[in-house]
Structure 1
Amino acid sequence: MIRRLVDSTRWRFIACVVVSNLLSGLVSAFVWLPLASRFWEADKTLGPWIPMLLSILLAIPISSFISRGGLTKEQQAEYLDFIVEESERLSKLASNVLLISRYENQKLVAEQTDYDLDEQIRTSVLRLESQWAPRGLIFELDLPRLPYRNNSEMMEHVWTNLISNAVKFSRDGGAIFISGTQETGRIIVTVRDEGAGIRPQDLGHIFDKFYQGDSSRVSVGNGLGLALVHRIVELSGGSITAESTLGKGSTFRLELPVHSTA
C-alpha cells in the first residue's frame, strides 16, 4: 500500500513542487546573494551568467524526473508547465538579486537623460497588459506631462514592480489608480489598488529584502521587488511611503526630485 502511494504520479508531482521550492529558497538565501555580490564587484561581465549556470544545474534533476517512464503525455505536459512557471519565478528572483546587489553598491546615478515620466509609466502599464487584462482589471491614470531627468532604464524597474504588485493583489474586476503631480522641484506619483491590503504588523517591513509577510503572499513573489524599488528611489534622491487597510487596498506614494542626484 505504501509502495503504491509513493509510486503514484500524484505524489511524484507533490515531491516535484516541494523540491523545487526548497531549491528556490536555498539558492536565494545561500548562493545567489553572496555570489552575485562577489562576482559583480570582481567582474561585472560575469554577473549575468550566474542565473543561467544555476538554472542549468537546477534543470538537470528536474529534466531527469520528467524523462523517466511511467508518465502519460498529459502528465508530462502538466509537469512541464509547472517547471516553466517555476523557472520564470527563479529567473525573476535571480534578476532581482543581481539588481539589488548592483544598486546597493552604487552611489551615483549614471547615464541620466531627460524624458517624460508620465509616458514611461503608461508604457509600463501597457507592457504588463497580459497580467491585468485577462482578470478584467481597470487602470485609472491621471498623469499630466512630467518632465524628468534620471536613468530611464533604472526607473523602469520601479514602475514595473509597483504596477505588477498592484495587479497581483487586486481582486478580479478591480481598479488600479495612478496619479502624478509636479510641484516646485519635485514630482509626486501615487499608485493605489483596491486589493487585499497589508497587515499593520507587516507594513513597516515591506521594503526589507526577502520579506513577504503573511503566507498568502509567499506564492506570488520573492520579497525583493519592493526592496529594489526602495533602493532605486533612495539612490535617485527621493522617498517612498506606503499606506494600507486590510480588505481595502494599498497606496504607494513616491516623491522624486525633478533632477535626480548626479
Structure 2
Amino acid sequence: MSEIIEVMQKLIKDFQNPFLEQMFSQISHGKMLRSSMVLAIAGKNQQSIELCAIIELIQLASLLHDDVIDESMIRRGQKSINASYGSKSAVMLGDALYAKAFYHLTFFDSLIAQSLSNAVCRLSSGEIYDVFLAQSFNPSKEKYCLMIEEKTASLIASSAECAAILAGLDAKDYFHYGKCLGIAFQIIDDILDITQPQEVLGKPAMNDFKEGKTTLPYLFLFEALDHEGRERLQGLCGKELNQDEKKWIKDHLEKYSCIEKSQQLAIGIAKDSLVKIKNPYNPALKEMIDAMIQRSF
C-alpha cells in the first residue's frame, strides 16, 4: 500500500500547490479495500499500482464531499478536512482529486476509463439519494439497498471490473464480485455504527440515525415494532439522542435480533460474490470476504 500512496503523493505534487499538498497530507488513507481487491485480482505491477492510485483518489474525493454534506467533524479518528480548513476548501480539494484521477484515466484502456467514470456517476447519484432519503424517515429496504449499491458498491464493483480487464479475466464476473462485496461491506459498516464505540469507529456511535439515516438494522426494527413503537422510532430519527433513547433503541434491536438479521443478510450477499468466479480459483478473494465480514471497524 505504501507504493500506492507514493504514487498518489506524486500525482498531488503535479499541482505545484502547497496549500493543496498541505491538506492532502492530513488525510488518513484507511483500509484501502479497493486497492487490496485490485491487487488480488490483477497482481502487482506498474499498471495495477497506478490504477489503484487513481481509484483511491476517487474514493478520497467522494469522502471529502461526503463529510461536507454530513457536516462531519471527524474522519477516521481525526479532524476532517472541512473541520480543519472549512467546507469550501474540502469541496475544492475533492474536485481537484476527481480531476487528477480522470486525467490519468485517459492513459488507460477506454473500457477502464468508461467503467470508472460510470461508477462516479452512480456514486454521485447515490449521494443525492442518501441526502434526500435522510430528509424524512425512510421505511423502505428497497430504497436503502438501491442507495448503497450506488453510493458504496458502484466504485468497488468498477474497481474489480477494471482489475479483471487488466488481467484478461471475465470483467462481468468480477463486477458481480465487487458489487456483492460492496453491498455487504456497507451493511457491515452500518451495523458497526450501532455496535462499536466512538474510540473504535473514529466517529460518534449511532451517528447515522442522528443524521436521519435508516440503515438496515433500523429497517428490520421498524418492521418488527408495533404502531406505538414505530411512531417512537420515527420521532427519534434525525435528532441528538440521550442515553435513555439510545438504550431504548439498542434494547429493541436486541429483542428483535435486528443486528443478527442484518449480519446474516450481509454474509449471504458476500458469499454470493464468488458464485460466478469458478476459474481460476483465487483464495485472496475469499480471504477478503472473510476479513470484511469479521471486521470490528
- TM-score band w.r.t. shorter chain: 0.3 to 0.5
More helix by share: 2
More strand by share: 1
With normalisation by structure 2, the TM-score equals 0.30
With normalisation by structure 1, the TM-score equals 0.33
